Amino acid sequence: MRTFEYRFHFAMTLFGLLLNGQSLACEPPAGFVNPPRPEIAPLEQLMSHAEQREIPQPLAVVLQSANRPLRIDPTKDLPGVSGTFRLSDGPYGSVGARRLVCLTDGSTSVEEVLNTDSNSESSRFRYVVWNHTNPKFRNVAYAVGEFVRTQPAPDRTTVTWTYRFALKSGLSIEEKSRFQKIFLEQEFAGWMRTQMDRAPSVPAPKAP
């Protein structure tokens, strides 16, 4: 029963991470210039890692929690998210919506929604992250994150979170290999698992 509660908490929090508004804990740093969005390469050409979880709730219930501020705790290898600042009109969630993301170590990145599609049986949310100022991402040109939620049964939702990375030009084969084996498959994969497994500190709302 406790596992079910944790997973339900995760479902409520996870969708809220994506469709939230603006957080007061984040402001553009001095000299910040809103950068142009990078041109996205075919996704199959990018390095990728995916995590998947099963949620013991219907898709409609999972999608209800959509207004929680973006807050992610740091791991031992990577900073968390302390807040966001809206860079475009309207709430974050529609295609083209953009926000500044402030990390717990003082660094920042920029996110923009690329695709959002939902029906009674599935939901897809894709976004691009770039302009990283954290040194851990020094070799990253941009990253494409994507949440896909499907409902294999009326009382169960499958959530798949995938990140795909495009690296900067000029890197050696050794640098690319080290990025994949150490950063992507260990540090970033661990960060993703931590976020998907962590239960929030507040009770999840009851299903209607």
Helix crossing, 2-18 with 189-197: angle to 10°? 120
pTM comes to 0.82
* pLDDT tens figures, 119-139: 989 999 999 999 999 999 999
* One-letter amino acid for residue 156 of the chain: R
Percent of the chain clearing pLDDT 90 (strictly above): 67
In 3D space, the residue among 67, 64, 60 whose CA is nearest the CA of residue 16 turns out to be 67
List domains and CATH numbers for the chain: 2-28+46-197 (3.30.530.20)
Q: Per-residue pLDDT averaged across 175-183, rounded?
A: 97
Question: What pLDDT, on a 0 to 100 scale, did the predictor assign at position 21?
Answer: 44
| Range with the poorest average pLDDT among 15-19, 127-131, 180-184, 193-197 | 15-19
Residue 201 has pLDDT above 90, yes or no: no
Comparing C-alpha atoms, which of 127, 139, 146, 200 is closest to residue 170? 139
**Residue 34 φ/ψ region, left for φ over 0, alpha for ψ in the -120 to 50 degree band, beta for the rest:** beta
